[in-house]
Amino acid sequence: MDVIFAASEAVPFAKTGGLADVAGALPRALQAQGHCVSLFLPCYRCARQAGVELEDIGIDLRIPIGPRMVEGRVLRSKLPDSNVAAYLIDQPEYFDRVGLYGEGGSDYDDNVARFIFFARGVIETIRALGLRPDVVHGNDWQSGLIPAYLRTLHADDPAFAGAGTLITVHNLAYQGLFWHWDMGLTGLDAGLFNWRQLEFHGKLCFLKAGLVFADVLSTVSPTYAREILSPEYGQGLDGLFRDRQADLYGILNGIDPDAWRPANEPMIARQYDTATVVEGKALCKARLQELAGLDRRPEVPLFAQVGRLDPQKGWDLLAEVADRLLDHDVQLVVLGAGHPKYQAMLEDLARRHPGRCTVFLTFDDAMAHRIEAGADLFLMPSLYEPCGLSQLYSLAHGTIPIVRSTGGLADTVVDATPRALSEGTATGFTFVRPS
């Protein structure tokens, strides 16, 4: 099959979360199965700084954003260690910025125009390249308008004749909600702004557009696909998911075994496998303690938490117990960036417990590898988790995950019950009540 994979971020070009890992790995995995895959994403400033070659292929874009015609171009690269072509939609006014979606905890005011340009730019680039896709696979709200355009403005376009469309929801909490007057910027018929299609509680909803117009819907774990049918997890869209339940699939994410295998990782202190895990992990722990400014004590349980500083990830639960936890003879390393409230909370925690708690307020892929390899236990008390990748990274490194049993966490971590222990199937600790 010829597959178009559209995402707002992908490793190694740009990353804020797990979508980037999936978008960087899944196209390569599909290619290895014999499919022809092309990746599309915006050309952010960080993509220019990623150390990958970007080639101007001479495709100029002129995209209408309401009454304004906005110009851009297309750059081409490749996903590392593959023949997957990556096409970057370049428009410096929209994408040459510090952040991907916002700065300082606030979204960019013009995100509606930025991702209209991206969606229409993907379609125009496909046409300019002469591609004839069998599947157009969008991801999250940033790609949500693509199925809507293909089923309306491009319904008779021979470039997309017979093409199926898929939208994958990686996190339903982010829906791409905008002022209702922004509907005029999309170029779509104003009649589509109704409760069955693009309107959501009086706002324009990019994700809903994708969910309504795509042929097939998927989420990133079987449990999350069931959870979002309920008001508790459906974020107001549970009725739509119930209506489209026959087209909804929960497919568990995987991780890239080449990138997240301690036998292959050059950035960790000692590479190891199942035969050398005891010695290798001990050296990785000692190195992590050194980097974090913690006492190098092999016998002390070293806990870790890595992720976006967002309420979803359970940081409030950590805040409730962190002081009591660190009153014991344990250590804690945290890596993440995001909401200023949690940054301040973690900085205060580290000040109160010097030598036992260290916080790195940044996104740092190499440090994430070192933490997964060096920690004893990994905390992931998510209030909800569509799939989660960090628990899978932990399992790959022999680090015991402690998770709330929701979404993909419930699908991937087997609780250490007496029966699971006796059967040799236990892989971590799970709990249900968010406390």
Question: What are the respective helix, strand and coil percentages of the chain, to the nearest 5?
Answer: 35, 25, 40
Which residues does 415 contact at the CB level (< 8 Å), separation at least 6?
405, 426, 428, 429, 430
Dump the DSSP string for 34-91.
Answer: T-EEEEEEE--HHHHTSS---EEEEEEEEEEETTEEEEEEEEEEE-TTS--EEEEEE-
Q: Using one digit for the tens of pLDDT, what is the confidence trace for 120-141?
A: 999 999 999 999 999 999 999 9
Q: What is the pTM of this model?
A: 0.93
What CA–CA distances, in Å, run from 142 to 89, 108, 175, 330? 13, 13, 9, 41
Across the beta sheet with 302-306, the strand order is 357-360, 331-335, 302-306, 377-380, 400-404, 429-431
**pLDDT on residue 256:** 87
CA angle 86, 12, 404 (to 5 degrees): 120
**pLDDT on residue 350:** 96
Q: Distance between CA atoms of 128 and 109, rounded to whole angstroms?
A: 30
**pLDDT on residue 413:** 98
**pLDDT on residue 338:** 86
What CA–CA distances, in Å, run from 131 to 3, 176, 427? 10, 28, 45
Q: Which two tokens stand for residue 236?
A: 């107001």
Q: Distance between CA atoms of 197 and 116, rounded to whole angstroms?
A: 17
The candidate with the shortest Cα–Cα distance to 38, out of 167, 147, 140, 137, is: 137
Q: Distance between CA atoms of 427 and 410, rounded to whole angstroms?
A: 12
DSSP 340: H
Would you tell me the crossing angle of helices 315-326 and 340-352 to the nearest 10 degrees? 0
Q: Which two tokens stand for residue 239?
A: 């009725």
Phi, psi at 140, each rounded to 5°:
65, -175
Which residue ranges form the domains of the chain, and what is each CATH number?
Answer: 2-250 (3.40.50.2000), 277-431 (3.40.50.2000)
Pairing relation of β-strands 203-205 and 331-335? unpaired
Which helix (DSSP H) or strand (DSSP E) does residue 166 occupy? Answer: strand 164-169
Dump the DSSP string for 123-160.
Answer: HHHHHHHT---SEEEEESGGGTHHHHHHHTTTTT-GGG
Residue 206 · residue 156 · CB < 8 Å: no
DSSP 338: B
Would you tell me the crossing angle of helices 365-374 and 277-291 to the nearest 10 degrees? 130
Residue 402 · residue 432 · CB < 8 Å: no
Q: Distance between CA atoms of 189 and 198, rounded to whole angstroms?
A: 11
**pLDDT on residue 361:** 95
Residue 240 · residue 253 · CB < 8 Å: no
Residues of the chain with pLDDT under 70: none
Which residues does 323 contact at the CB level (< 8 Å), separation at least 6?
349, 352, 353
